[in-house]
Amino acid sequence: MMENKEELARIITAENGKPLKEAQGEIIYSASFLEWFAEEARRIYGDVIPASAKDRRVLVLKQPVGVAAIITPWNFPSAMITRKVGAALAAGCTVVVKPAEDTPLSALALGELANQAGIPAGVYNVVPCSRQQTAAVGEVLCTDPLVSKISFTGSTATGKILLKHAAGTVKRVSMELGGHAPFIVFDSANVDRAVAGALASKYRNSGQTCVCTNRFLVQKGIHDEFVEKFAKAIEKELHVGNGFDAKTTQGPLINEKAVEKVEKHIKDAVSQGASVVTGGKRHSLGKNFFEPTLLSNVTTKMLCTQEETFGPLAPVIRFETEAEAVAIANAANVGLAGYFYSQDPAQIWRVAERLEVGMVGVNEGIISSVECPFGGVKESGLGREGSKYGIDEYLEIKYVCFGGL
C-alpha cells in the first residue's frame, strides 16, 4: 500500500470527492491498520488456568471465528476495509468484502495489492454490487451459514436490518453505526483552540464522517465570541472545490440525496428561528457542492440537533450549566464520539465520565488512531475496532480440559 499510496489516494478522490490531501492521509491511516494487526497476530495469547483437580490441566485457546463478511461505507473506502480485514487476517479468518456501491474501486485496488503482496487466492475476496442489489447481497452475506462473522460500518437503520438477518444463524457481529457527536465548549475553554478543534472535527471530508460533530453546545459566557471566531475561521480557511486542486479543503458531497438532507436541516432550523451566520446554500461549482454552513440560535427542537446531518452544517446551541449540556448531549439514542473543551480539571473528569459515548475528545477535535479502540455505545454499535481489542472480534475462545493425568 505504501509503495502505491499516491495512486490509491487518487482513486479515493476520484470515487468520493474528498480532497487529495485527506485521501493521502487516509491511505497512510489505512496501511497502518495492516501493520498494527500484523504485529498483533503475535500476541493472540491463550491461557493456562489452575485446575481444581490434581489429574487435570486446563487450557484456553483462541481460534479464528471463520469466514468474515465485511460491509463497508463510502466515506473512508480504504481505511474502513483495512481496519476490519487487518484484524480478520491476523486472526486467521478469510474475508468477503462488500464495498459501498459508490466506492468499489478502492476495495478492488486493495485486492490487486493483496495478490501482489502474496496473500493466497480466496483469502481476500471482493463482491461489488449495484445500489439496486445491495440489500439482496447484504442479506445473503448475513444469512449464509458458511459466514461466521459480520462486520459492518454504516447507518444505524441498515445495521438493525443486518442484525435481524444475522440472528437467524446466530453470527458474531460487529457494528460501527451512526453518530450524533456533541461538541461542548465550556466557559473555561481556550476559545481559539476550541475553534480550531471545531473546524477539524466538523468539516473533515465535508462533514461526512461518523465521528463528525453534529451539535455544538457553547456556554453562554463565551458563546458570542466562539460563534464570531468560528465564522471567521470557516470563511478564511475552508475552500470548496475539486478534490484534485491543492487548495481545496471541501470537496463535493457524495450525491444529491446528501445535499438535499443538508438543505432540509437548514430550512427546518431557519423556519424555527435559527440564523445563518455563514454559508447556507449550494455552491456555484455544482449540484453536489455545498457551502460550509454555521447556524446560531439553534434549539433542541430542530431536526439538525435530532438526527445526523452528514454534511457541512454546524448548528450552535447556547447553554447555561454543565448539567444542561450533558443532558442535551446524552439525549440522543446513539453514542459514538463526543468532544468538549474545558480547562477545569474536575469538570474534565466529570464530563468525560458522564458523556454516553464510546470515545471522548477532551480539548481535541480529531481522535481516531490505530492504537485506540474505535466504537460506540447505545445504538452506535457493538464491539471495537483497531487497538489491542480489535482482533478479539475475530477470535473464538475454546476451553480445553485435559484429564486422566
* Active centre residues (catalytic): 176, 210
Contacts for 307 with CB less than 8 Å, ≥ 6 apart = 180
Q: Where do the H-state alpha helices sit in 240-359?
A: 256-271, 322-329, 345-354
Grid coordinates representing 283? Answer: 455552491
- Is the separation of the CB atoms in 63 and 92 below 8 Å? yes
Q: Which helix (H) or strand (E) holds 106?
A: helix 104-117
Contact 195, 224 (CB under 8 A): no
Closest CA to 370 of 90, 84, 126: 84
Is residue 243 a contact partner of residue 251, using CB atoms and an 8 Å limit?
yes
User: Distance between CA 357 and CA 351 in Å, rounded?
Assistant: 11
d(CA 138, CA 15): 21
Give the single-character DSSP code of 119.
P
Residue 293 main-chain phi, psi, to 5 deg: -120, 140
Which residues does 163 contact at the CB level (< 8 Å), separation at least 6?
173, 175
Q: How far apart (Å, rounded) are the C-alpha atoms in residues 122 and 98?
A: 14
User: How does strand 213-219 pair with strand 313-319?
Assistant: parallel
Longest CA pairwise span in the chain (Å): 79
Neighbours of 305 (CB within 10 A): 25
Q: Are 149 and 85 contacting, i.e. CB atoms less than 8 angstroms apart?
A: no
User: Per DSSP, what are the bridge partners of residue 294?
Assistant: 278, 314
Distance, in Å, from the CA atom of 360 to the CA atom of 342, rounded to the nearest integer, reads 13
